[in-house]
Amino acid sequence: MSSRIENYLGFPMGISGAELTQRAIIQAEKFEASLTAPCTVVSLGSCAGHLVVRLSDGSEVAGRAVIAATGASYRRLEASRLSDFEGNGVYYAATDMEAGICGPSPVVVVGGGNSAGQAAIFLRQGGCRVTLVIRGDDLGKDMSRYLVERIEADSQITVRARTTVVALDGHETLGAVRLNGPDGNVDLPCAGLFSFIGAEPSSGWLNGCAALDDQGFVLTDLSLTAEQLGQSWQTLARSPLPFETSHPGLFAVGDVRSGSTKRVAAAVGEGSSSVRSVHQFLAFSSRPNG
């Protein structure tokens, strides 16, 4: 969903999330990984010592080990008529496609994190006049300094602090948004509302198989308490491996993992490191009482 990832090693000119994914697919196929897409995992279970992943088409895939890398999905704004314009003026990504739809019209970006900052700059570069709406009063609280500096230096980006989006308006497409801030309600013309207000972990499919933190992110290795590990681990006579969840053989990496750094480089690194843990797990479980 990222329009331009500028901090991933090896891409000095930046790369969009979509292009990085396309390249990853080619690379995975080169190593003969079997890919199935589009395809949603609906639940996880276990059977005869294997974890069983159930897919939305009803098929099942069994494995001795599973790595969960399902990331997180976006929170929705609580504003009236939001659903009327989703995909038709309300967007959760700012790529060339959305920028093309909005053209040079005014747009509103909501959120105080790096994703919102990147989107504001990207849309501005495409010729839009951008209003950046943040709930708090300090743009630098959750956003990287380099983005804050670029936003503050740009006269075509207006930052509205202590402000929320309360309503959307338009006929067939989004035409205006109502903001509520220190000066009360303000109506702004708006061709695109870009929402970057945080994410919910995509962990529901784990179906209670793994312990989660209070926000639903998956707990792994040192974050797990003895209580969360339960009795089954006592018979295993080992601690969870790096990235292993409370379910032996189930690993979690990237954004879906509790405490992970929500960045591409971190997710890629965790994914590759977890493979070492999978090998260790397979070695443990091939022992006579493993």
Question: Contact between 275 and ligand FAD (CB under 6 A)?
Answer: no
- From 157, 168, 210, 267, residue interacting with ligand FAD (rule: CB under 6 A): 267
Residue 282 to residue 51: CA distance in whole angstroms: 13
- Give rounded-to-5 percent helix, strand, coil for the chain: 30, 25, 45
For ligand FAD, the closer CB: 70 or 220? 70
Of residues 111 and 178, the one with the C-beta less far from ligand FAD: 111
Q: Which residues ranging from 157 to 186 are in contact with ligand FAD (CB under 6 A)?
A: none
CB of 213 to ligand FAD, least distance (A): 16
Of 66-74, 148-156, 180-188, 210-218: span binding ligand FAD (CB under 6 A): 66-74
SS (H, E, C) 139-169: CCCCCCHHHHHHHHCCCCEEEECCCEEEEEE
- Residue of the chain from 40, 80, 83, 156 that contacts ligand FAD (CB under 6 A): 40
Reference 265, options 1, 19, 38, 6; nearest CA is 6
Among residues 66, 190, 252, 264, the one that binds ligand FAD under rule CB under 6 A: 264
- Of positions 18, 71, 75, 275, contacts ligand FAD by CB under 6 A: 71
| Residue 69 found at the interface with ligand FAD (CB under 6 A) | yes
Rounded CA-CA distance 20/36 in Å is 18
Sequence-distant (6+) residues with CB within 8 A of 255 are 71, 72, 199, 201, 262, 267
- Identify the residue among 16, 67, 70, 212 touching ligand FAD (CB under 6 A): 70
> Are the C-beta atoms of residues 216 and 202 closer than 8 Å to each other?
no
Binding mask 2-21 for ligand FAD (x = CB under 6 A): x--xxxx--------x----
Q: How far apart are CA 289 and CA 237, in angstroms?
A: 10
Cβ closest to ligand FAD, residue 115 vs residue 131: 115
- Per DSSP, what are the bridge partners of residue 122? none
Binding region for ligand FAD (CB under 6 A): 1-2, 5-8, 17, 40-41, 69-71, 93, 115, 118, 202, 205, 254-256, 262-265, 267
